[in-house]
Amino acid sequence: MSQHVRTAIRVTGTVQGVGFRPFVYALAVRLGLAGLVGNDAQGVFAEVEGPPGAVQEFLAALTADPPPLARIDTVSTAGLTPTGAAGFTIVASDASGPRTAQVSPDTAPCADCLRELGDPADRRFGYPFINCTNCGPRFTIVRGVPYDRPLTTMAGFAMCGPCAAEYADPADRRFHAQPVCCPACGPRLRLAGPDGQDLPGEPIAAAAALLRDGAVLAVKGLGGFHLAVDAASDPAAAALRGRKHRAEKPFAVLVADLAAARALAVLDPASEALLTSIERPIVLADRRPGAAVASAVAPRTRQLGLLLPYTPLHHLLIRAVGRPIVLTSGNSSDEPIAYRDEEMLPRLSGLADAFLTHDRPIHIRTDDSVARSAGGQAALIRRARGYAPSPLPLPVPARRPVLACGAELKSTVCLARDGQAIISQHLGDLENFETLRSFTEAIEHLGRLFGIIPQVVAHDLHPGYLSTQYAAGRDGVTLLGVQHHHAHIAACLADNGERGPVIGVAFDGTGYGTDGTLWGGEFLLADLVSARRAAHLAAVPLPGGEAAIREPWRMAAVYLSRAFGGAPPPGLAVTRRNQRRWDAVLAMADRGINAPATSSAGRLFDAAAALLGVRDTISYEGQAAIELEQLADPAETGCYPAGLDAGPGDGDGPGPLLVRGADLIRAAAGDLAAGTAPAVIAARFHNGVAAAIVAVCERLRDGHGLGTVALSGGVFQNLLLTARAVTGLTDRGFRVLVHARVPCNDGGISFGQAAVAAATDAATTDAATTGAATASAATAGSATVT
């Protein structure tokens, strides 16, 4: 034995629930090594014993060829005294100690499982819960760590003999696959009617028949219930809209495979890679003219949201239906998606005609993710199922554990420790009790899974946000307020692995400014620690506050009044359509009653949309701007100019530059009065906003020497604007950073806040000690935005 060595190995990263122990076992056995492997709260530990050469080969192979879903962060080794014991074993999990192990996201069925699913000779033929160590449910079924069956929602299903044998066989693909099951022992599918009673027939075939007949079907998926209808049926899609009280926001469409997706939409390589990725997001793409999709599926947009099946159940259902189906969230209007079995009938019985459901509980509500190709690069718009809770790196590691509470709309939370940030799944708009509950549950659940007890808590500056109020209620932590647009730019920096400084262009609907006004068309000189407002859209009144967001015509009234000194051209259609309330709204704006000032870029787009007759009122956030982008003729190169004014100084020098957004509206109104086509005007407006961005960035580069621009904020979901701005900036020698892994909208705010908190805490050498939330710490982040 003297020539043998024994080495202790610790592997961290996403190494639980991804077949890592079987992989280690098989590798050790192949190399003739003795020892053990196990999961604990930090990851995977192993000891291997044998000839030095074989141990070296083992260590090399460990990192060279890990299982497909594993993501290794670190491998550390230590020498041990050989024991002489023979054989290799998998030891029981150890739940003690600090928890740092990572839970992997839910993953679409692998090729091996799909083959078995379609093989009449296989014992899992047609079984909708087939999975293995390389695929299947994870995040949505995990109750705690270590990731083992008793701590998942599979705990109630005792394995049958054959499943237990596979589970225990190191040579099997299902060795220690925690959700392993089969028709004899696992979850069961059933089709229920409106009262919850079982309907006759094989559930999938019967459900497919209902869909083909135009019924609305509720389907229990991975992270919640969906509602499905035949995507080609106008009456079915219209019925679904009516029951959901969802006027116009597009529905996603499930297609069987890539060929079916290509038949409906024009897909570039990045879109196809997203569609077929194991994360399986909904992918937005341009719909093909004449695509066989009911007009009620995605009204007034050239785009379509498509997704491929991401569970065995979806594979079986879409094949049985034989054509694309709408698959939209199981909820009414803006409520969170239903996911608990006990919610199914109370919340969905008025919406669905039947329920395709099963008895495997969903532990965590998780919406579908949404992504698209932006100029050939993949970009996430909503980060949820398939991505959460995969960690993302932070440019500056967190000295103390961080919780970032996000903003309000498209809420997410983010926990950070060391160099890693774990962003929650998309939680929805933090405006009701259900979403607030998801918010607090996400903080607690992720904290438990990752063993993170926050000592620094970052939040938005808006005092009215529930997320801000939640942060203020945490005892014994250091609070850090992070200005909304600084958080956007920090999110973009961190998304690109950068620290700045940059010229940050943060264009969105609304964010609370350091001066208490509503910002949203901001140019910041920013790094991860501080941000200075260097330029912004000239502020205008928001007549009626929230009402002006719901009624874009009010912004047209305000901007036209500004643009023409109170005397816009006569005969504009937008004025005629809203004649009854036009003067009252302008009076409200002039007197400043219930008309807070805003520099929002979103409201400028609203004004242009209403002026061009796109719409006077909206039924979902950003709708007017989205439809204005759809209207714009991409071939048009004309451009409206926007002037720049020096802002009022504050005694310490000149104030921020002011961008005259009203100039764009004046030019657009002039073209409209002269009979120019709205599609041309919409394009010239987009080009004008992009040109203003470039002009301001050039001025700021001259003054401050910064050659990199970061684009963030929900307005940059506008692909036409983003493409024009990126081209214009690149042509003038700027390096441009855009979002990829984290949404540019408010879904990315928590990640940005975490990046700011980590960098600020690292920069504060004399940081306040844990245990006291101090007033000075509470303003440390915001105070640096000047």
Between residues 137 and 330, which has the closer beta carbon with respect to Zn ion? 137
Tell me how many residues contact Zn ion (CB under 5 A): 10
- Pairing mode, if any, of strands 43-50 and 34-40? antiparallel
Using CB under 5 A, which of 29, 160, 232, 680 touches Zn ion? 160
User: Nearest distance from residue 132's CB to Zn ion, in Å?
Assistant: 3
**Pair of tokens at residue 74:** 């670190």
Rounded (10°) CA dihedral 481, 487, 490, 496: 140
CB within 8 A of 656, min separation 6: which ones?
A: 523, 533, 534, 535, 536, 647
In the region spanning residues 183 to 222, those forming contacts with Zn ion, defined by CB under 5 A, are: 184-185
| Total Cβ atoms within 10 A of residue 469 | 14
- In 3-state terms, what secondary structure has residue 200? coil
Whether the bond between 183 and the residue before it is cis, its omega within 30 degrees of 0, is no
| Largest pairwise CA distance in the chain | 98
Q: Tell me which stretch binds Zn ion (CB under 5 A): 25-33, 162-170, 216-224, 701-709.
A: 162-170
Per CB under 5 A, the segment of 180-188, 249-257, 294-302, 354-362 that binds Zn ion is 180-188
- Residue carrying structure tokens 């189906």: 325
Helix (H) or strand (E) holding 212: helix 203-212
Of the candidates 665, 723, 658, 667, which has an alpha carbon nearest to the alpha carbon of residue 695?
Answer: 658
| Residue closer to Zn ion, measured from CB, 182 or 320 | 182
Give the three-state DSSP class for 195.
Answer: coil
In whole angstroms, how close is the CB of 278 to Zn ion at the nearest point?
A: 10
Residues numbered 552 to 611 that lie near Zn ion (CB under 5 A) are none
Compute the least distance from the CB of residue 153 to Zn ion, in Å: 16
Residue placing its CB nearer to Zn ion in the complex, 130 or 700: 130
Query: Pick from 372, 405, 367: which is nearest to 384 by CA?
Result: 367
Within 295-314, the residues that bind Zn ion by CB under 5 A are: none
Is 219 within 8 Å of 228 (Cβ atoms)? Answer: yes
Phi and psi angles of residue 228, each rounded to the nearest 5 degrees, phi first: -125, 145
List, edge to edge, every strand of the sheet that includes 5-14.
71-80, 5-14, 43-50, 34-40, 88-90
Judged by CB, which is closer to Zn ion: 33, or 182? 182
Tokens of 267: 């897909």
Q: Which is nearer to Zn ion, 39 or 134 (CB)?
A: 134
Q: How far is the CB of 175 from Zn ion (least distance, A)?
A: 12
Instruction: Report the nearest approach of Zn ion to the CB of residue 126 (Å).
Output: 15
Beta strands in 573-702 (DSSP E): 597-598, 644-645, 657-659
Task: Pick the closer one to Zn ion by CB: 135 or 436.
Answer: 135
Q: Which of residues 496-525 bind Zn ion (CB under 5 A)?
A: none
Give 617's DSSP letter.
Answer: S
- What pairs with residue 511 in β-bridges? 519
Cβ-based neighbours of 226, under 8 Å, separated by 6 or more: 218, 219, 327, 328, 329, 330
Residue 150 Cβ, how far from Zn ion at the closest point, in Å? 17
- The helix (run of H) or strand (run of E) holding residue 134 is none
Nearer to Zn ion, 177 or 642 (CB): 177
x/- string (CB under 5 A) for Zn ion, residues 120-159?
A: ------------x-xx------------------------
In angstroms, give the least distance from the CB of 125 to Zn ion: 13
Name the residue nearer to Zn ion (CB basis): 31 or 113. 113
35 vs 187, beta carbon nearer Zn ion: 187
Closest CB to Zn ion among residues 18, 163: 163
C-alpha span between 577 and 355 (Å, rounded): 44
Q: Which is nearer to Zn ion, 113 or 477 (CB)?
A: 113
How near is the Cβ of 166 to Zn ion at its closest, in Å?
8
In the complex, the smallest distance separating the C-beta of residue 69 from Zn ion, rounded to whole angstroms, is: 10
**Contacts of Zn ion in 220-239 (CB under 5 A):** none
Q: Among the candidate windows 178-186, 237-245, 537-545, 578-586, which touches Zn ion by CB under 5 A?
A: 178-186
What is the SS3 assignment for 467? helix
Among residues 110 and 691, whose Cβ is nearest to Zn ion?
Answer: 110
Report the nearest approach of Zn ion to the CB of residue 123 (Å).
8
* Nearest approach, Cβ of residue 168 and Zn ion (Å): 13
For the CB of residue 163, give the shortest distance to Zn ion in the complex, in Å.
3
Q: Which is nearer to Zn ion, 186 or 203 (CB)?
A: 186
CA dihedral 670, 674, 677, 680 (to 10 degrees): -40
- Closest contact distance (angstroms) between CB of 134 and Zn ion is 5
Sequence-distant (6+) residues with CB within 8 A of 695 are: 642, 644
For the chain, counts of helices (H) and of strands (E): 25, 29
Q: Does 163 bind Zn ion (CB under 5 A)?
A: yes
> Contact between 683 and Zn ion (CB under 5 A)?
no
Piece of 43-51, 174-182, 679-687, 735-743 that binds Zn ion (CB under 5 A): 174-182
Q: Which of residues 459-498 bind Zn ion (CB under 5 A)?
A: none
Of 170 and 670, the one with the shorter C-beta distance to Zn ion is 170
Q: Which positions from 389 to 428 touch Zn ion by CB under 5 A, shown as an x/- string?
A: ----------------------------------------
Q: Which of residues 95-114 bind Zn ion (CB under 5 A)?
A: 110, 113
Q: Does 8 bind Zn ion (CB under 5 A)?
A: no
The DSSP code for 150 is G
Residue closer to Zn ion (CB basis): 132 or 452:
132
CB of 772 closer than 8 Å to CB of 476: yes
Q: Which of 101, 182, 231, 756 binds Zn ion (CB under 5 A)?
A: 182
H or E, element range at 772: none
Q: How far is the CB of 385 from Zn ion (least distance, A)?
A: 17
Nearest in space to 93 (alpha carbons), one of 21, 23, 197: 21
Those residues with Cβ within 8 angstroms of residue 604's Cβ, 6 or more apart along the chain or in another chain: 521, 537, 555, 559, 661, 664, 665, 689
Q: Which stretch binds Zn ion (CB under 5 A): 176-184, 592-600, 655-663, 727-735?
A: 176-184
Nearest CB to Zn ion, comparing residues 29 and 185: 185
Question: Alpha carbon of 65 to those of 34, 71, 104: distances in Å?
Answer: 20, 11, 18
CB of 133 to Zn ion, least distance (A): 7
Min dist. Cβ of residue 605 to Zn ion (A)? 45
Nearest CA-CA partner of 334 in 388, 424, 409: 409
Residue 234 has which token pair? 């106008």
Question: In the complex, what is the shortest distance from the CB of residue 252 to Zn ion, in angstroms, rounded to a whole number?
Answer: 24
Query: Closest approach of Cβ 130 to Zn ion, in Å?
Result: 7
Q: Are 623 and 248 in contact (CB under 8 A)?
A: yes
Distances from the Cα of 14 to the Cα of 43, 98, 393, 396, 738, angstroms: 8, 16, 14, 21, 27
Nearer to Zn ion, 29 or 160 (CB): 160
Q: Which is nearer to Zn ion, 172 or 272 (CB)?
A: 172
Residue tagged 């879903």 (tokens)? 69
Contact footprint for Zn ion (CB under 5 A) = 110, 113, 132, 134-135, 160, 163, 182, 184-185
